[in-house]
């Protein structure tokens, strides 16, 4: 299909971009376009104006410091893939992003675009949620820092205002020695996940789990955290018995929809399976992946 | 509202008057009449429309023509030296890496971008990258072989450049 | 003079490749004509209903729109698409109109067509057309269609719109007296051979000459010319179909579709060239669909595992209408169940069921993929029940060479007599087992290794090819001493240009570059048939042999004149006519003597390529994921013209089969909405899915039915895959007693089979 009609602007400053968004009802931000343009190609969205942010300065870098990561909204998947610093600075982030789509998409798709699109099966919303990221957006009212937990409202729906543009996403620091894993199941390589589970935790000197994070994509309206499973894990030693309980609890906690690729009960079971596999993997791999 | 854009196509400056909604693929094919790039799905899945923008393989159905303004674009027409097939194209012929040939320009441009950046890519990497392109005829084995066999030409190029 | 080395049998690199690799192919959307307009089609968004009113005024008023046509403007009665293959008067009420008039019967059925300055404007206008449809209850599944009460054709009184009976000998009381019987209900889901190039038509009307030229023809241009000429009320020689490059066919593309009328109609009406390029969503909705057949099958054996009889009661869901090639799959599915096996008594009834889905027709291995799934599943079940090794069971039942030729079971109505021609079935089974290390891998059957269960299966198949009745080839000696070869065969990406050049070069004892093949226009030969039923190499190739023989004798006669000797005193060698007295003339010197001939090869006998496949899978019982660890295929194609292109066909065909068995599925909801409407939902294999495939083609038993000896190939890879994969999964999950009865073998389905399994693994 051919796209519906819209106007196009390519402003050179953030202020100008925000002004265009507020002046034009139904305007949308165009970043890499890899989520937005397919929607237009099916005429499932009809924006009046696309505001292309490719010329905005300073949103295309990954900055690493003791405070964590600051990832610009226009950072493309291929940059994350190629950034050797991330192997230690945030291995989970890099590993998850390697599951995003395909080569050509990864050359154009951006962090901000994926967050704004808010597909509950996508990796970037998932990693933002499981890592407790802050999403920074700027609009007419100034800068707003939104917790990932508050950002994703429903499938393809966020708490962004019409005039707001995501400028960066901030990750809390990643301590060395942290245990982590990400298991995703898709029909084919690069497809959206039928379900994916990210886990990470630290092991204290007493050998028990601390600060467990368990995040799930593909099994709800938004990327989700399994609080109950995290509570089950914290303070415990990881053994097969605990993994079995976590698996069961994970599966019971989610209530996924059915679609043509998988029924809800299958997805429930899959979340349990991937949780168990993730925990085993994380335990045995340690910091090395 | 039509906009005038200029960009570089296979080393030559080109310009067109386009609606913002026109994709780069449709612009190249129907405004500039370079029909080597093929459109297979228009929703970013099949890879047939792959072209190279500023050195990166991208889907030209998920790129607006207006987004390419001022950029360097390369298509399958820019791969050969006149009528002489490039080594990658020769390798496709030798290994029977094409049947109907519709997906072929997309595979060539994807593989060309990959081997330009990563001339030593191993079979697994090649497969993974090519998984963004759909071929319905070959079953892919011959395409993967053709790309693997073209690596020495890119390695030699890299050696000359460095 | 040194002996010429034949080109047939050599892995010659394809002549076709160069243009395609340079980006200089000529596909339908590459055609640009002066003053060309663009079409878009409004399709029904309702599965079943009655059009009450269509308001196109807003669409017509949109700037850039030139015309909007619906049934009203096209004129009543609206032309309906004929059944091309095995037509029967009983099918007439169920043929598809080229545009809906009154009722709509599937989502995607054309309702109106917009012609505009650009494709985008045409699509903008589609959104402005208001259609008021009274929605009727829809039927999509076979069960719903059989149960009713919703009827696609009310006056017919039933959704069972046709039927075939297939018989071999009498089953009599075999099922009452046999030592062993088993009955199953099996189902093969709807999928098809979606092509990378979507369909496209460019039509240009020359009013002065009353001449219609159409680009975008594929597969059967001559048949489509005839149909279109009839609908436009033009003589056939005033309609030209131009093929260009075709981005895949696989049987599904190139048949006569509604747009093959609508676009030329619009071009004539407006006096401007009109282009229509199908988009991917339309393609998924409206291309020929395939499979979708349910079978109640029963097998009877003696205590030693010899098959005594098979009885099958089948229901094929053909969707909303009979179209050009719809008859093939229901016929084949009934006829191919016995396959290469000795099934002394056989009976099948195939009910053709209409439903509110897209019309179906041929797709690579039509009916045979389904029949092989039914048969090979039953063979493994019977072998296991009887405690006989699955290979040994097949050995006991495969036809021996002494039993060939073996007639197929008889089919009515529209009977066709055909027989398995030649083959060493058991020998090729052994070759395949050896290549797959079958014996060494038996310890893996059902074994859990690193979290996955391993299983292997083997099966045997036959593939039909070389459909008649005729094919044409015309050879012309050109002034420069080269030979132009005009053929009626169609190029759909299978390399027919190279193949026919090899055959012609050998026949004329010339190098490859002395032959130029022209295909792809209905003006090249008087009558051509096209590319379907794995026929181009056999039918086109034999036509080339006939033409070559004739122009050689013309050359001898002309050469004898130039050399001033009698016709008996000259011979033809490597492109020269040589006189006994020592003089000779080359082809350049013979040019200008009007040396040319159009030959037609007639054949009513089919060829049957055959072979065996082995699959080794690893199944993750927790996720339901299936990995193909190894896949080995051997087929005997009789005689191989080009091993490179044949190997390409074999691998591609297997991967399509794997796609059908594991990934591809047209899912409809109860209202007739098609839910697999993008390539993100209709999943075709990718480069990462099936890297482990080993195939070989051999030349063991040429076809005795024609001079070339080659057998049609290219579909055989697809045919056995569904049954084989299901059997391999059953072998892997044998401790769970899992028995797949339906395709596709999706993760969800495998997981569910394990969940519902009668026994859990001890592992």
Domain stops at, among C549, C584, C602: C602
B67 touching A, CB under 8 A?
yes
Residue C126 is part of a domain; what is its CATH number?
Answer: 3.90.1170.50
Whether B78 shows a pLDDT value over 70: the answer reads yes
Domain stops at, among C264, C286, C308: C286
Domain co-membership, A89 together with A37 = no
A3 touching C, CB under 8 A?
yes
Residue A2 included in any domain: no
Whether A289 shows a pLDDT value over 60: the answer reads no
If you average pLDDT over residues C311-315, what whole number do you get?
A: 98
Domain that holds residue B125: 87-161
Domain co-membership, A167 together with A183 = no
Domain co-membership, A228 together with A269 = yes
Domain co-membership, B40 together with B61 = yes
Q: Using an 8 Å Cβ cutoff, are B33 and B42 in contact?
A: no
Please name the residues in contact with C232: beta carbons below 8 A apart, sequence gap of 6 or more: C212, C239, C261, C264, C265, C268
Q: What pLDDT is recorded for position C468? A: 79
Give the 3-state secondary structure of C568-601. Answer: HHEEEECCEEEECCCCEEEHHHHCCCCCEEEEEE
Whether A56 shows a pLDDT value over 60: the answer reads yes
Q: Using an 8 Å Cβ cutoff, are A247 and A273 in contact?
A: yes
List subunits contacting chain A, requiring 3 or more Cβ pairs under 8 Å: B, C
Domain stops at, among C576, C602, C628: C602
Whether C714 shows a pLDDT value over 60: the answer reads yes
Cβ contact (<8 Å) for C687 and B75? no
Rounded distance between C-alpha atoms, residue B108 and residue B133, angstroms: 10
Domain stops at, among A171, A206, A240: A171
- Rounded to the nearest 10 degrees, what angle do helices C747-755 and A264-285 cross at? 90
Average pLDDT, chain A: 96
Strand arrangement of the beta sheet that strand B3-9 belongs to? B12-18, B3-9, B72-74, B50-53, B56-59
> Measured between beta carbons, which residues in chain C are less than 8 angstroms from residue A266?
624, 747-748, 751-752
Cβ contact (<8 Å) for B33 and C27? no
Please name the residues in contact with C659: beta carbons below 8 A apart, sequence gap of 6 or more: C191, C683, C684, C685
Q: Using an 8 Å Cβ cutoff, are C217 and C257 in contact?
A: no
Rounded distance between C-alpha atoms, residue A277 and residue A284, angstroms: 11
pLDDT confidence tier of residue A284, bands split at 50, 70 and 90? confident
> Measured between beta carbons, which residues in chain B are less than 8 angstroms from residue C684?
134, 136
Q: Which of C282, C332, C328 is nearest to C113 (CA)?
A: C282
- Rounded to the nearest 10 degrees, what angle do helices C643-658 and B141-149 cross at? 120
Q: What is the pLDDT of residues C186-224, one digit of tens each?
A: 999 999 999 999 999 999 999 999 999 999 988 899 999
Cβ contact (<8 Å) for B134 and C679? yes
User: Where are the alpha helices (H) located in B67-137, listed in sequence order?
Assistant: 87-94, 104-117, 123-130
Rounded distance between C-alpha atoms, residue C100 and residue C531, angstroms: 30
Q: Which of C549, C488, C554, C574 is nearest to C523 (CA)?
A: C488
Whether C282 shows a pLDDT value over 70: the answer reads yes
Across the interface, which of A42, A188, A263 has its CB nearest the CB of C683? A188
Domain co-membership, B149 together with B123 = yes
Q: What pLDDT is recorded for position C492? A: 83
Domain co-membership, B93 together with B140 = yes
Tell me how many domains chain B contains. 2
Domain co-membership, B68 together with B109 = no
Rounded distance between C-alpha atoms, residue A73 and residue C418, angstroms: 66
Residue A35 is part of a domain; what is its CATH number?
Answer: 3.30.43.10
Residue in chain B nearest A36 by alpha carbon: B62
Across the interface, which of A38, A50, A188 has its CB nearest the CB of B43? A38
Cβ contact (<8 Å) for C248 and B30? no
Q: What is the pLDDT of residues C474-500, one digit of tens each?
A: 999 999 999 999 998 888 888 999 999
Nearest CA of chain C to the CA of A100: how many Å? 14
Residue C521 is part of a domain; what is its CATH number?
Answer: 3.30.365.10
Q: What pLDDT is recorded for position C393? A: 98
Domain co-membership, A260 together with A207 = yes
Tell me how many domains chain C contains. 2
Residue A272 is part of a domain; what is its CATH number?
Answer: 3.30.390.50
Domain that holds residue A184: 179-284
Based on the number of CB atoms within 10 Å of its own CB, is C157 exposed (0-12), middle (13-18) or buried (19 or more)?
Answer: exposed
C-alpha radius of gyration, chain C, whole number: 27
> Measured between beta carbons, which residues in chain B are less than 8 angstroms from residue C18?
85, 93
Q: What is the pLDDT of residues A213-260, one digit of tens each?
A: 999 999 999 999 999 999 999 999 999 999 999 999 999 999 999 999
Domain co-membership, A68 together with A166 = yes
Domain co-membership, A164 together with A184 = no
Which value does ipTM take for this structure? 0.98
If you average pLDDT over residues C537-542, what whole number do you get?
A: 92
Residue A203 included in any domain: yes
List subunits contacting chain B, requiring 3 or more Cβ pairs under 8 Å: A, C
Domain stops at, among B78, B95, B115: B78
Cβ contact (<8 Å) for B136 and C684? yes
pLDDT confidence tier of residue C572, bands split at 50, 70 and 90? very high
Across the interface, which of B42, B85, B127 has its CB nearest the CB of C688? B127
Residue A252 included in any domain: yes
Domain co-membership, A183 together with A163 = no
Based on the number of CB atoms within 10 Å of its own CB, is A65 exposed (0-12), middle (13-18) or buried (19 or more)?
Answer: exposed
Q: What pLDDT is recorded for position C533? A: 81
Q: Which of C546, C566, C547 is nearest to C556 (CA)?
A: C566
Domain co-membership, A165 together with A191 = no
Q: What is the pLDDT of residues B106-124, one digit of tens each?
A: 999 999 999 999 999 999 9
Whether C132 shows a pLDDT value over 50: the answer reads yes
Domain co-membership, A74 together with A143 = yes
Q: Which of C366, C364, C379 is nearest to C459 (CA)?
A: C379
Domain stops at, among B46, B78, B110: B78
pTM of the model: 0.97
Q: Using an 8 Å Cβ cutoff, are C531 and C521 in contact?
A: no
Residue A91 included in any domain: yes
Across the interface, which of A40, A52, A102 has its CB nearest the CB of B67? A52
Residue B43 is part of a domain; what is its CATH number?
Answer: 3.10.20.30
Average pLDDT, chain C: 96
Q: Which of B133, B84, C281 is nearest to A188 (CA)?
A: B133
Q: What is the pLDDT of residues A198-217, one digit of tens each?
A: 999 999 889 999 999 999 99
Domain stops at, among B78, B106, B128: B78
Residue A106 included in any domain: yes
Whether A288 shows a pLDDT value over 60: the answer reads no
Nearest 10 degrees: CA dihedral of B81, B87, B92, B96? 110
Whether C591 shows a pLDDT value over 80: the answer reads yes
C688 touching B, CB under 8 A?
yes
B129 touching A, CB under 8 A?
yes
C216 touching B, CB under 8 A?
no
List C67's β-bridge partners, or say none: C115
Residue C478 included in any domain: yes
Q: What pLDDT is recorded for position C763? A: 42
Task: Identify which has the larger pLDDT, A43 or B159.
Answer: A43
Domain that holds residue C68: 31-136+194-286
Q: What pLDDT is recorded for position C529? A: 83
List C277's β-bridge partners, or say none: C200
Q: What is the pLDDT of residues B47-60, one digit of tens each?
A: 999 999 999 999 99
Cβ contact (<8 Å) for B21 and A4? yes
Tell me how many domains chain A contains. 3
pLDDT confidence tier of residue C466, bands split at 50, 70 and 90? confident
Whether C680 shows a pLDDT value over 80: the answer reads yes
Nearest CA of chain C to the CA of B160: how many Å? 25
Domain co-membership, A189 together with A232 = yes
Q: What is the pLDDT of residues A131-161, one digit of tens each?
A: 999 999 999 999 999 999 999 999 999 999 9
Q: What pLDDT is recorded for position C524? A: 87
Cβ contact (<8 Å) for A261 and C676? no
Q: What is the pLDDT of residues A259-274, one digit of tens each?
A: 999 999 999 999 999 9
Domain stops at, among A171, A202, A235: A171
Domain co-membership, B93 together with B156 = yes
Q: What pLDDT is recorded for position B131? A: 98
If you average pLDDT over residues A109-113, what whole number do you get?
A: 98
Residue C540 included in any domain: yes
> Measured between beta carbons, which residues in chain C are less than 8 angstroms from residue B142?
648, 651
Residue C86 region by backbone torsions, left for phi larger than 0, else alpha for psi between -120 and 50, else beta: left
Whether C521 shows a pLDDT value over 90: the answer reads no
- Residue ranges of C 276-335 with Cβ closer than 8 A to chain B: 279-280
Rounded distance between C-alpha atoms, residue C221 and residue C242, angstroms: 8
């Amino acid at each position: 299909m051919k796209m519906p009609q819209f106007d196009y602007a390519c402003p050179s400053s953030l202020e100008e971009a925000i002004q265009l968004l507020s002046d034009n009802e139904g305007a949308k931000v165009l970043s890499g376009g890899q989520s937005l343009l397919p929607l237009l190609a099916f005429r499932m969205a009809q924006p009046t104006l696309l505001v292309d942010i490719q010329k905005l300065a300073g949103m295309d870098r990954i900055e690493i410091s003791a405070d964590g990561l600051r990832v610009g909204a226009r950072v493309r998947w291929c940059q994350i893939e190629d950034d050797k610093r991330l192997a230690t600075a945030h291995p989970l982030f890099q590993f998850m992003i390697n599951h995003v789509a395909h080569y050509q998409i990864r050359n154009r798709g951006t962090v901000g675009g994926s967050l704004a699109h808010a597909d509950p099966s996508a990796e970037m919303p998932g990693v933002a949620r499981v890592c407790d990221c802050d999403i920074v957006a700027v609009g007419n009212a100034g800068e707003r820092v939104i917790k990932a937990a508050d950002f994703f409202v429903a499938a393809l729906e966020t708490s962004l205002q019409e005039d707001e543009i995501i400028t960066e996403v901030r990750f809390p620091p990643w301590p060395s020695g942290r245990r982590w894993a990400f298991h995703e199941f898709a029909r084919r390589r690069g497809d959206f996940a039928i379900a994916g589970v990210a886990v990470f935790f630290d092991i204290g000197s007493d050998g028990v789990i601390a600060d467990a994070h368990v995040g799930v994509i593909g099994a709800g309206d938004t990327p989700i955290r399994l609080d109950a499973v995290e509570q089950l894990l914290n303070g415990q030693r990881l053994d097969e018995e605990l993994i079995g309980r976590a698996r069961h609890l994970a599966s019971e906690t989610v209530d996924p929809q059915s679609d043509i690729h998988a029924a809800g009960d299958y997805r429930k079971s899959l979340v349990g399976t991937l949780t168990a596999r993730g925990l085993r993997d994380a335990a045995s791999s340690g910091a090395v992946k | 509202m039509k906009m005038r854009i200029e960009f570089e196509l296979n080393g030559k400056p080109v310009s067109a008057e386009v609606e913002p909604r026109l994709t780069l693929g449709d612009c190249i094919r129907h405004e500039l009449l370079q029909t080597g790039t093929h459109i297979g799905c228009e929703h970013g899945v099949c890879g047939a429309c792959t072209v190279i923008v500023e050195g990166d393989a991208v889907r030209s159905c998920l790129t607006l023509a207006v987004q390419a303004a001022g950029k360097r674009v390369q298509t399958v027409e820019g791969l050969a030296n006149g009528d002489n097939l490039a080594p990658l194209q020769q390798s496709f012929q030798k290994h029977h890496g094409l049947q109907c040939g519709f997906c072929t320009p997309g595979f060539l441009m994807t593989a060309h971008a990959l081997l330009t950046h990563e001339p030593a890519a191993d079979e697994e990497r090649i497969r993974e990258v090519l998984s963004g392109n759909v071929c319905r005829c070959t079953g892919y084995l011959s395409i993967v072989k053709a790309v693997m066999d073209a690596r020495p030409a890119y390695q030699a190029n890299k050696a000359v450049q460095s | 003079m040194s002996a010429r080395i034949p080109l047939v049998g050599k892995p010659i690199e394809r002549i076709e490749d160069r243009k395609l690799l340079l980006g200089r192919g000529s596909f339908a959307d590459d055609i640009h004509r002066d003053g060309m307009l663009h079409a878009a089609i409004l399709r029904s968004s309702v599965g079943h209903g009655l059009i009450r009113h269509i308001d196109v005024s807003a669409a017509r008023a949109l700037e850039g729109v030139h015309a909007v046509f619906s049934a009203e403007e096209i004129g009543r009665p609206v032309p309906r698409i004929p059944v091309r293959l095995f037509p029967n008067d009983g099918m007439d009420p169920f043929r598809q109109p080229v545009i809906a008039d009154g009722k709509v019967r599937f989502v995607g059925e054309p309702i109106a067509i917009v012609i505009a300055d650009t494709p985008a404007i045409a699509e903008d206008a589609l959104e402005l057309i208001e259609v008021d449809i009274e929605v009727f209850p829809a039927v999509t599944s076979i069960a719903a269609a059989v149960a009713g009460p919703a009827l696609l054709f009310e006056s017919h009184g039933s959704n069972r719109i046709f039927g075939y009976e297939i018989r071999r000998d009498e089953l009599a009381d075999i099922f009452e007296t046999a030592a062993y019987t088993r009955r199953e209900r099996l189902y093969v889901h709807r999928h098809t051979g979606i092509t990378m190039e979507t369909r496209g038509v460019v039509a240009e009307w020359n009013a002065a000459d009353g001449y219609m030229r159409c680009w975008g023809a594929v597969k059967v241009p001559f048949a489509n010319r005839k149909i279109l000429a009839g609908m436009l009320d033009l003589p056939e020689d005033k309609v030209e179909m131009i093929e260009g490059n075709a981005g895949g066919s696989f049987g599904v593309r190139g048949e006569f579709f509604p747009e093959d009328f609508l676009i030329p109609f619009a071009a004539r009406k407006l006096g401007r060239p009109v282009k229509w390029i199908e988009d991917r969503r339309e393609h998924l909705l409206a291309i020929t669909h395939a499979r979708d057949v349910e079978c109640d099958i029963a097998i009877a054996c003696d205590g030693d595992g010899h098959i005594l009889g098979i009885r099958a009661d089948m229901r094929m869901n053909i969707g909303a209408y009979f179209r050009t090639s719809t008859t093939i799959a229901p016929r084949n599915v009934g006829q191919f169940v016995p396959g290469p096996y000795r099934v002394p008594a056989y009976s099948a009834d195939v009910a053709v069921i209409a439903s509110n889905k897209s019309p179906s027709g041929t797709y690579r291995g039509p009916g045979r993929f389904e029949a092989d799934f039914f048969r090979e599943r039953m063979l493994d079940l019977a072998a296991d029940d009887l405690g006989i090794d699955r290979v040994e069971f097949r050995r006991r039942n495969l036809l021996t060479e002494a039993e060939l030729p073996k007639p197929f079971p008889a089919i009515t109505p529209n009977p066709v007599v055909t027989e398995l021609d030649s083959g060493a079935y058991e020998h090729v089974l052994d070759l395949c087992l050896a290549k797959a290390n079958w014996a060494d891998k038996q310890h893996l059957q059902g074994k859990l290794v690193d979290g996955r269960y391993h299983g292997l299966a083997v099966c045997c198949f036959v593939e039909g090819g070389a459909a008649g009745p005729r094919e044409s080839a015309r050879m012309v000696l050109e002034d420069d001493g080269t030979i132009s070869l005009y053929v009626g065969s169609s190029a759909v990406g299978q390399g027919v240009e190279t193949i026919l050049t090899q055959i012609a070069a050998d026949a004329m004892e010339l190098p490859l570059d002395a032959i130029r093949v022209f295909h792809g226009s209905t003006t090249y030969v008087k009558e051509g048939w096209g590319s379907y039923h794995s026929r181009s190499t056999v039918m086109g190739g034999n036509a080339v042999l006939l033409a070559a023989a004739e122009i050689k004798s013309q050359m001898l006669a002309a050469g004898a004149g130039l050399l001033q000797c009698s016709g008996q005193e000259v011979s033809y060698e490597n492109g020269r006519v040589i006189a006994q007295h020592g003089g000779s003339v080359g082809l350049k010197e013979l040019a200008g003597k009007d040396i040319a001939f159009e030959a037609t090869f007639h054949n009513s006998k089919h060829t049957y390529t055959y072979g065996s496949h082995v699959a080794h899978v690893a199944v993750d019982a927790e996720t339901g994921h299936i990995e193909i660890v190894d896949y080995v295929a051997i087929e005997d194609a009789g005689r191989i013209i080009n091993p490179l292109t044949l190997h390409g066909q074999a691998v591609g065909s297997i991967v399509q089969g794997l796609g059908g068995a594991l990934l591809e599925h047209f899912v409809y909801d109860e209202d007739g909405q098609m839910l697999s409407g993008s390539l993100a939902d209709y999943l075709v294999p990718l480069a990462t899915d099936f890297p482990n495939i080993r195939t070989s083609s051999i030349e063991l038993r040429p076809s005795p039915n024609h001079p070339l000896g080659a057998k049609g190939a290219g579909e055989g890879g697809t045919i056995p895959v569904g049954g084989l994969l299901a059997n391999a999964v059953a072998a892997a999950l044998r401790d769970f007693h899992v028995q797949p009865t339906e395709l596709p073998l999706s993760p969800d389905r495998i997981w569910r089979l394990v969940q519902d399994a009668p026994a859990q693994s001890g592992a």
